[in-house]
Amino acid sequence: MKIFVVGANGQVGRLLVETLLDNDYQVTGGYRDPAQQAPEAGSQAFAAVHFDLTAPVAELAAALAGHDAVIFAAGSQGKALLSVDLDGAVKTQLAAEQAGVTRFIQLSSLNAESRANWPASLHDYYIAKFYADEWLKTRTQLDYVIVQPAALTNDEANGMITIEPAGTATITRQDVASVLARAVESDCHRETIKLANGAVPIAQVL
């Protein structure tokens, strides 16, 4: 199975590429600047390509062609919320449809659909996530899974999650990467998964 990772140079994206390769997937990493951002080729199952979320949809579709699934894990860290986190996600969805890729996994943020739960300090970020998720759910025919993690940490992964986090919750970036990887071939179809670290093995949930 051939998977395209959008945002392969991000903190979650780098872990995701490694996780997918460890699970014997063929992986293409999308990078704004592959020469500077991509890791050294260490596997014949990995390819690094140029993928600029500000490019026209047709150009993005050409890069996605021939893949079985797309995982959107890109983020601008607040530097380009409209062009990357929002429009970049929507354009990637459009490009996937143009390229004939039906399986789409999108990294979002916990409770992005609920304005009452948006942290004041991340208000604009949540706006971007809200509309990117809504477009995927209501304006595409993609077979999607939206993954909404709680606050991310760099702690050591434990492979244990809960899908109904309440209150202040966190999850490691590695555990998020593992969930994204497993979501590709999971039985989840056009669903949103909310998650934080908890007491249930990831393999049992997905």
- Provide the annotated active-site residues: 125
Residue closest to 53 by CA, chosen among 113, 150, 128, 142: 128
Sequence-distant (6+) residues with CB within 8 A of 57 are 91, 94, 95, 98
Two structure tokens written together for 97: 């449809």
Two structure tokens written together for 199: 């007491």
Tracing tokens 């590709």 back to the chain, one arrives at: 184
Contact yes or no for 200/160 (Cβ under 8 A): yes
How many other CB atoms sit within 10 Å of the CB of residue 74?
Answer: 24
Cα end-to-end distance, the chain, whole Å: 18
Positive/negative CA dihedral, 4, 6, 11, 12: negative
Which residues on adjacent β-strands are paired with residue 152? 171
DSSP state of 103: E
- Distance (Å, rounded) from C-alpha 102 to C-alpha 85? 21
